[in-house]
Every structure is written in C-alpha cells, then in structure tokens.
Amino acid sequence: MTAPLIGTRVGRVDGRFKVTGEATYTADHTAAGMAHGYLVLASVGGGELLSMDTAAAEAAPGVLAVYSPFNPLKLQSIKTTPDLSFVGQFWLPLQDTTIRHYGQIIGLVVAESYEEARYAASLVTATYEERTPKTDLKAGIPRAVAPPIPVNYEEPELNLLADGVGSVEEALAASEVRVAADYSQPVDTPTAIEPHAVLATWEGGVLTLQVGTQSAVGSAMTTAEALGIDVFQVRVVSPVVGGAFGGKMYLFGHPLLTAVAARELNRPIKTVLTQEQVFTVTGHRSGVAQRIELGASREGVLNAVKHDAWSGFSASGVLFESAAHTTSRVLYKSPNIHVGQKIVPLDLPPTTWVRAPGEQPGSFALESAMDELAVELGIDPIELRMRNYADTMPGREVPWSSKHLDECYRIGAERFGWADRAERPGTQADGDWLVGQGMAGTVYPGNLLPTTVAVVTLRPDGGATVSSATADPGTGMLTVLAMVCAQELGIPLDRVTPLLGDSVLPLNFGAFGSMGTASTASAVAQAAFVARAELIRLAVSDERSPFHGLDPETVEYQEGRLSAPGGRQADFGELLTLLESAGVDGTGASAPGAEKLRYAIHSFGAHFCEVRVHRFTRETRVSRWTSVIDAGQIINEVTARGQIVGGVLFGLGQALLEDARPEAGTGRFANANLADYLLPVHADMPDFDVHFLRHPDTSFNQIGARGIGEIGAVGSAAAIANAVYHATGVRVRDLPITVDKLL
C-alpha cells in the first residue's frame, strides 16, 4: 500500500522552483515588442480635476501615448453589483474627472522603457478644484450610516433577546457585573511582497493578462466586462503570486487601462506599480472603532453582549469590516446578544479584503473585553470562556458540524504552561523585562466557493495531471492539489503534475475567504474517482485491452494498477499506451449544498502568547506562542502551519506595528512605503508552537477540511494585548500598542 499522504508533512512541490529564483512573477515577464506603462496619480485628496498638461510628457523621449480623463481609454461601466465584480471599486479610472481620494489614477503614460515612462509621468501637471477629504474615522462617527449591503448575509443590526427582555440595554442593566470599553484600530494594508503589476498582450483578438491574482477567473470576467468583450476573449495567467492576503482578490484599475492601451497601441504593455502606488491604487483594511458592553453574573455567566462597530468605508470601495457579526454572534452563549454595524464614509483609497476581514477587528474587541471581564470577576480567562461555552450557534439553535474549542483551550493551556501564569498583572519580570501571558479564542466561518471544478487526467506516461483554475499565493494550494490527486490515485506524489493559476483551466474562483482547500480538494478527490472509473470503462470496452469484455465490476484499480480475475493486470500508463489513448479524464466538482441549513460551520482555535515589555523603553516583544486549531482534516501539516504562523503575524503586526496614516487635510498616506509602514519581520517572530486537532468535518465536505488561511489572524491581536496587560497592568484598547501608550 502506498502510505497515505493526506495529514502528513509534505514540502511544497514548488519550493525549489521558488527559492532558487526560477519562478518568474508578473514584473519579471517580457513580451516581444513590449512597451511600458506608468501611472500618473492625483496629488490632492478630493475634488475635481480641471485640466492636465501632458505636452511635455508627450514630447519626452520614447513616449508612445499619454492617457488621461481628457484623452481617455474607454472602459465600459461594470454592471454587476460592485461586491460581485472583481474590480474592487465602484468607478473605473479615466472615465470622469472626479477625484475620490489621494493617489487615484489620473493618467497612464506608455513609453518604450520603464524609465522613459516614469520620467515622462513626472512631467505631467494637473490643476484641481480641491475639496478637503474626510479621512478621520473617529471624527466621522456622527456621520455613520447603515451599510448599503448586508453584513455576512445578515441584517447589519441583529438583536437576539430572551423572552420578556425588551432590549440589550435592559439585559445589561439587570446584570450583576458589567464591563464596557471602546476599542479601535487604524488602517492596515495587505502589503504583499510582490507589488501589483500586469502584462497585457493581444493576439488574434484574444487578450492575455499576466497578473498576480487570487482569482484568475474573477479577473477574466471583470476584464471582459470592462472592455466590452466576451469572457472567452480574455485569458488571465497567474501561476505564481508573491503574496496576496486579500489585496490581490481584486484587479483594481491599472490592469484594465493597460489592457485597453495595449489594444490601442497594438503592443504588449507591462505596468508595474511602485510600492507607494500600491497603497493608493489598490485597497486596504479600513480602520475600525468598536464598543463592547458585557453583562454577567458574579460567577461569570454572560447575560448580555452588546457589540457595535463603526468601520471606515471608502467612497471608492466595495468592502468594509463587518466586525461584530462572526465573533459576538458565534463565540459565546448569551441569552441577549446585540451586534450592530455602521460604516463611516471616507475619502480614502478602496477599502478591500485583508486577511480575516471583519473577524480580525471583531475578535480584537471581543476577546479583549472577555479578558477585562475575567479580570473584573477574578476568574481565569479560560474558565470564563468555558462557563459561556456555546453548544449551538446563538439564535440559530443548530449544532455545529464539528466543534472542539474546549479541547483547544485545554490542550493549548497544557502545551503553553498556562497554569504557571502569575495571578496578578505586573508581577513577573526577567531582568529589565516585564513578562506577561495572555490568551484569546479564534473563530472563522467554514464556507465553500460557488461551483468549483477540477479535472484529473491519467496519462499514458504513467503520470497524472490535476488542474483547476485556483491560485497559490503562498498558501500551498499547488502542493495540496498534487497530494489529494496522488492519494486518491494511489500513486507517488512525483508522478502528479498540478496546474493552477490560469482562467482557462477548470472553473475555480480561487483563493479567498479560507475556502480554497475545502472546495478544491473535494473536487479533486471526486475527479480522481471519476478518472479511475473512466479508465476501467475504457479497459473493458477496447478490443486491444487485456480486460476487454469483462464486467467492469470485476476490474479493480489499486495504486495505479488494474487487475482482474485470472491474473490479468496492467499499470494505467501501460494500458493507455497500448490503447494509444492520449489520456483519460475525470471531472469532479464541489459546491455549497444544504449543510448550512443543518449545521453551523466554523473553525475554532485558541492562541496563547507571552510578551516581554521593557521596563524602561516600553518596547514590546512577543517571546512565546502556542496556537491550537480545530479546522477539521489538515491536509498538509507543513503548509497548514505556515498559514497559521502567517495569520498570527498579521495579528502581531496589528497589535504592535501596522498603522497606515492618512495625513489630515490631504488624505495622503504619510508612510506609504515598506520603510515607514512597519511590518513584522523575522526578528519579531517568536518560536511558534502550532498544534492541529484534526477532527475531520465530513458533514461539511467529503475531504473533511475547513479553511485555515485566515483563522490565525483572528484573536491573535487580542492575545497580545491581553498579555501586555498581564505584563504591565496597562490595558491598551487602541492599536497598535506603541511605547507611548505604555508609559
């Protein structure tokens, strides 16, 4: 028997390809006769563009064209609802003269070289009628409005009240103990290491876009719509993606302009954004302000949870942080729960998806507030959580498909050594470092993508190809494809060729919402099953086959080999060669079914962290970390661990470092570069202890896996803030926790 692969540790199949520099990213590509695009961006934060002087740029060496709203590249408006299109913003660049935010696209210069395009762009001048942009979230709260679209498919405001209770306020007032606090966090950005870039090539009326994206199919659909061409005239190729985290979910404006310019000029064009341009041409996570009030008995049993969130919402964007919904709706049992979500319209670049949109800020507030309640009651934070353990999802009264959060708390506490934690804050030190430990829970919904298709092809050379139009932005999806295919076919991993990142491959919307593995792995498993059946069908029906004429039921497939009574056997490669077959295909699909009606489906986990805060400088360092994750079947422990560590580092960045600051008056991000926008680096990383529970969730899908891309980012900022409180006795509710807040 071939040893099972699923659940083991498998190095990335593309690891060598990537670390040796063999992998080429979008900006590395060239095409014969290629020209270069460079964007011109608005230098004011709002108002109207009155005029642009492009004469000097047009006369500059190497320049082929200068496009602007006064000499536009025509794009069709996107008719699908903005949250379903993959452009990431309501408006398309150069189609009007409105300035919606600082750094929006107002021009595209195309020249023979990148340097010529960039130089010419610097010669373009513009005049504006300026309007002062609104960029301050907290100042905008009085202007907050209900979101224009549902929040997680639910009403923006949700009240679950016990019989006879008139309001959550009434329930709070009747509670023996109450805590109430305001929490906030600033804008943060996806900051993938590969800047956004695109290479557009037309050939025979077909556009090929090379672009790093989480969704080749979504990008192709949106491009076709914006260009007014058929979707079959667009191919989006994205085999490697240098990080995404939500920021490459959508195309934004520059690929569309580049595509149209390439058609107009009849040249392939490559446009590469500078890091600073990435901050304003693409999207960010909005700042979020939240207020939580908890009411409980003296024994720590919750009677009321009131969670309100105010999220920034860009006048350009299509997404906002639905901060209160997943966390306060799901994590704890309480007879009275109110969640409210408002948005604050701001004149900033598009608000978009960033790892765990909604759950990340929501969990920071809720899991901080639970820690505050534990302190108030003098109850251990884990014990408090267990006293409010939810066995059914509040307000739905359906069981979870699979929930083992209690085990996460227990195993995490053991692995971390939670029992050795000092009872009182500010009482542990190691030399000049104050030491503290904190924990928080984490949760993320288990969802499946819309129809996901995979094809497994058995080849005459004895290998197999597995293909699906998904993406691998560092998640390990390519390896997962190969592993599931190899296991289901019972052949060694190195005989499988996985293909993804191309919109012409079998339909798959890609890597987002922690849905990729659950959706794609199930489709691959089914495709392999179908391919095996198809092989047997061929084996019994072709006259040249040693199995010809047999009842297919008597032919067995095992580990790449067919056998039948009477000692007849053949490897599939031998058989396909003998039959002169080009290969045998099996197609598999997965799609959401009725599982959500019968179950609540979420992944859960617990984070434990130790911090050291310097007694004098107040520098905070995370020194130890344990995460225990209940996400169903874990397909590859190596890449799964990478996902959790990466997610936790997003939380670490939010807790201690990240803060994209719009300048008052201009809306310009003052730190729009990787030197001033602080991110966690290797030196900020503790040794991570990541443990997976591995209870397969087969009520959710065939493979039993839920997603893990985002759950690490949920709860981790709260675990750090709680540990900082434990180290210092100072509760910081406004992220990031910088030294000034600990003085």
For binding to ligand MOS (CB under 6 A), which residues are involved?
214, 244-246, 249, 353-355, 357, 512-513
Pair 73, 260: CB distance under 8 Å? yes
Could you give the strand order of the β-sheet that contains 620-630, starting from the edge strand earlier in sequence? 429-430, 433-445, 602-614, 620-630, 687-692
Q: Are strands 47-53 and 98-99 parallel, antiparallel or unpaired?
A: antiparallel
Q: Are strands 206-211 and 234-237 parallel, antiparallel or unpaired?
A: parallel
User: Element (H or E) spanning 159, and its range?
Assistant: strand 157-160
Helices and strands of the chain, counted as H and E runs: 17, 27
Strand-pairing partners, residue 66, are 109
Could you tell me which of 734, 715, 737 has the C-alpha nearest to residue 613?
A: 737
CA quadruple 252, 255, 258, 262: dihedral sign: negative
Residue 710 is a catalytic residue: yes
Give the number of other CB atoms < 10 A from CB of residue 452.
28
Instruction: Decide whether 82 or 425 has the Cβ nearer to ligand MOS.
Output: 82
Residue type, 452: T
Query: Which residue is listed with tokens 């990729």?
Result: 516
Q: Which structure tokens are listed for 577?
A: 């060669």
Strand-pairing partners, residue 88, are none
Q: Which structure tokens are listed for 43?
A: 């230098």
Taking CA atoms, 566 is separated from 170, 181, 271, 532, 546, in Å, by: 79, 77, 64, 21, 11
DSSP secondary structure string, 522-564? HHHHHHHHHHHHHHHHHHHH-TTSTTTT--GGG-EEETTEEEE
Peptide bond preceding 345 in cis form (omega within 30 of 0): no
Distance CA 193, CA 191 (A): 6
Taking CA atoms, 430 is separated from 201, 375, 728, in Å, by: 60, 23, 13
DSSP 498: E
DSSP secondary structure string, 365-380? HHHHHHHHHHHHHT--
What are the residues whose beta carbons fall under 8 Å from the beta carbon of 510, sequence distance 6 or more? 213, 214, 215, 216, 217, 218, 449, 469, 470, 471, 516
Q: Which structure tokens are listed for 634?
A: 């874990």
Distance CA 72, CA 74 (A): 6
What are the residues whose beta carbons fall under 8 Å from the beta carbon of 423, sequence distance 6 or more? none
Distance CA 1, CA 560 (A): 11
Estimate to the nearest angstrom the gap between the alpha carbon of 619 and the chain centroid: 30
Pair 496, 464: CB distance under 8 Å? yes
Residues carrying an active site annotation: 710
